[in-house]
Structure 1
């Protein structure tokens, strides 16, 4: 988490630093990123960076969490637009991620250098877990569970985990193989349709 000094920065200075961080993590993945490049782009002393963040990983996860907040709002909006249809929502969300030009390189570096910590942070778009291990009401209440072959919230949680795994794998494949948009979408539609129809007669 960024330090209080970062949150207290004037908006223009804070935005300049955020842009510098985004630029660096769009250029290279976390482990290759350079604090020198960030402070040069933001035109701040090295010491100032450490007044705002613990280290480059702290800055990276701040940026990732901001991305997660934006994408979660998009996901919830799509769920509402699709009247809780989980499969239609996920297909539209996947398309949205592929067509976001402004975050393309940042997302590519996320998906091609996925760690458990990064995956857990990104998955909060779809699954937010309460301290007791239950699915947060915010998303689950919007999903039309009557269309799903499930009996309870625990099964809904595992349905979400399966769909998230398929979604992340398709995003990784798209960026790793540099698939054309249409091919990536068709691959995802096929897998989502297989899940929707079930895999056994």
Structure 2
């Protein structure tokens, strides 16, 4: 997480620093990113960066967490829009993330995230659908899902179902982005795998 001094910045300075970091992480992976480039774009002295973030990883995961929060909101909205249809809601989130990965400019941040996926990155991306929700939001999601349509008996089983869906979702995103699938090809593959899961999970 950023240091408190970052949150104390006025909106203009904060946004300028965030956009500079997003631009750098859109250009290259986390491990190739240069703090010097971020500073140059944000027009701040080198020492100032460390007043706001511990290191470049801190800045990267702040951006990733912000994106994950947006996708969580998207997921909730889709659950409501599709009357608790879990698979339809997950499909819409999948489409959104894949579309982000295909866009140019700062949206390449998501493409670089997917192309350089590891456990730490995946955990940051999905924590709003896993541990954090168990503690703060998971019950709300559970209440929104049409449980009568699923072969799931309780919240514990539902949690394991979500873990399976998340694993399938990320496997497909990484595979399809890495192999430059079109949106149609990617979505067809994802829906096919969800259909196999639904045969054992949907009544």
TM-score interval for Structure 1 and Structure 2 normalised by the shorter chain:
over 0.9
For 2:148 and 2:31, how far apart are their aligned partners in 1?
Answer: 44
For 1:141 and 1:51, how far apart are their aligned partners in 2?
Answer: 42
Q: What are the residue-to-residue correspondences of 1:1-201 with 2, within 5 Å?
A: 1-100=1-100, 101=103, 104-127=107-130, 128-130=132-134, 136-198=138-200
Task: Indicate the SS of the match to 2:9.
Answer: coil
Runs of 4+ with deviation above 4 angstroms: none
Task: Indicate the SS of the match to 2:185.
Answer: helix
Moved more, 136-145 or 97-106: 97-106
Q: Structure 1 residues 135, 41: closer, same or farther in 2, change over 3 A?
A: closer
For 2:133 and 2:80, how far apart are their aligned partners in 1?
Answer: 20
Scaled by the length of structure 2, the TM-score of the pair is 0.91
Q: Deviations over 1:77-112 (max 9, x none)?
A: 011101111011111111122223366411111112
Task: Indicate the SS of the match to 1:93.
Answer: helix
Q: Deviations over 1:3-23 (max 9, x none)?
A: 111101111111000000000
Moved more, 100-109 or 166-175: 100-109
For 1:93 and 1:62, how far apart are their aligned partners in 2?
Answer: 20
Q: What is the aligned residue count?
A: 197
Task: Indicate the SS of the match to 2:83.
Answer: coil
Structure 1: give runs of 5+ residues left out of the alignment.
none
Contact 1:135 1:157 in 2 (8 A): no
Once the 2 structures are TM-superposed, how far is the Cα of residue 135 of structure 1 from its aligned partner?
Answer: 7.2
Moved more, 108-117 or 182-191: 108-117
Once the 2 structures are TM-superposed, how far is the Cα of residue 52 of structure 1 from its aligned partner?
Answer: 0.5
Scaled by the length of structure 1, the TM-score of the pair is 0.92
For 2:106 and 2:126, how far apart are their aligned partners in 1?
Answer: 17
